[in-house]
Structure 1
């Protein structure tokens, strides 16, 4: 069990971000390559957005808690990602993508998670899945509610169908306990309040803005009051990682080929 403090950075054209994975505290833990939280009610922190940029070899999951983004890509897809919605994008062999705020003021609060693709899927065709609020089950237990984006909880299943199986849940606490059998890699990001994380051999308190990272320790028990977390879990992907920004392959030779493809106009072929 390890606590990772988020790192304040700017990305895109100058968006203020709390970088939880992908920074100096935790570069990556395969299959999770990056986890960013963008959260501010000051438009200067987000108005520059994320202009057109390439992706290859991964899936990107954007979860909009509050506010709205517009998105478009080099294949002619475009639309709005609104409050409570999720966009699960498989970059695969390559796509150019843009995300810009669809608002001039107000609170923008959301997340982007990068999930690695196995070697045999890195050059798959790109695809999208846009999940509406009503698509995602909201499971309520005593003192706990679980918004299920992907994976299973009790008899419920999230609507996302990722290439590499990932559990992704937004859990809100009101004096209750969330229990879960752990996989190989488990992330507990506290977005509100304070929680207590317990396993068979450990117990720790975690504050908002920090990540509790656990490898397989059996059963996890999380308690909170007026607090909330993202719970993200998957089996380890035991493959080499070579990355250059939003291009993630298995070797640096493959990364350089992607850069050459981009420069030569062959990125999406």
Structure 2
């Protein structure tokens, strides 16, 4: 029988700060060791935020560059419009996601898409590209509802964005082994997970409250960091409409150099990224 994976820490996140039109809290990286959640690097959460009528159509004021990583945006309420300099674009709605590979370089922007106003809530993750793929060509994956397959569990469902759960594969293509699940449970619903012990594993409670392994209780707005030992854990919903994002991946085991919107392996590569951006190569 697999050993139970225990909680190492529960992170309450940063103070809120503004990103273009949105106010977000940051949860990763929340420790000095950038390797601790590799291949995941950053996680920002925009809690439910009420907007007047707003649209991303035609806007370029939030355009910004990336290199060496992938951005993953998951919408929980409302809608988000995306544009990038490779000509990709589109709007994703509640329950959908988009997966952008920045690779060698791209500029993009995202805005709430609420023509009549309303509530928007989303998460954005940064996923590190392995050293050998840092400079791949940029691309974009739109993960609409029909592409995200669902696995029934007791009192709820596990929606597989990437990786595999109970034999069901996610539609997103990634450059390293990882799993990303959108978990939705009614009160007293339960889901069980199993990952290799050496994988970096965490879960963000988007809504409601869960107990982990029948013990610790964690409320919404908190990130659960699991120990790098043990293989399986369970979550039980303590409130109706509990939602959490479960992420687990094989560590890349490579140097990480980060500055601003770029994540590379060395300082020299970061310097080159900024030079290329300033020279109009993105």
TM-score by length of 2: 0.86
- Please state if 1:231 is matched with 2:231: no
* Secondary structure, counterpart of 1:216 in structure 2: coil
The 3 A distance-change label for structure 1 pair 212 and 25 is farther
Which residue in the other structure is 1:41 paired with? 49
Structure 2 regions of 5+ residues with no counterpart? 1-7
Shift of 1:246: 1.5
Shift of 1:47: 8.1
Whether the 8 Å CA contact 1:179–1:220 is kept in 2: the answer is: yes
Which deviates further from its counterpart, 212-221 or 113-122? 212-221
- Mapped partners of 2:119, 2:276: distance in 1: 38
The 3 A distance-change label for structure 1 pair 100 and 20 is same
Structure with more contact order per residue of length (Cα contacts < 8 Å, sep ≥ 6) = 2
5 Å-filtered alignment, 1:10-29, equals 10-13=17-20, 15-23=22-30, 29=37
Structure 1 regions of 5+ residues with no counterpart? none
5 Å-filtered alignment, 1:181-200, equals 181-183=194-196, 184-198=199-213
Whether the 8 Å CA contact 2:37–2:201 is kept in 1: the answer is: no
The structure 1 residue matched to 2:66, chosen from 55, 65, 68, is: 55
Which residue in the other structure is 1:222 paired with? 235
5 Å-filtered alignment, 1:152-163, equals 152-163=164-175
Whether the 8 Å CA contact 2:256–2:263 is kept in 1: the answer is: yes
* Secondary structure, counterpart of 1:143 in structure 2: strand
The 3 A distance-change label for structure 1 pair 107 and 212 is same
Shift of 1:141: 2.1
The 3 A distance-change label for structure 1 pair 102 and 47 is closer
Q: How many pairs does the alignment contain?
A: 263
Which residue in the other structure is 1:80 paired with? 91
Shift of 1:126: 0.6
Whether the 8 Å CA contact 1:56–1:247 is kept in 2: the answer is: yes
The 3 A distance-change label for structure 1 pair 125 and 19 is same
Q: Deviations over 1:12-65 (max 9, x none)?
A: 325210211134698662211111111223227x98998100010001111112
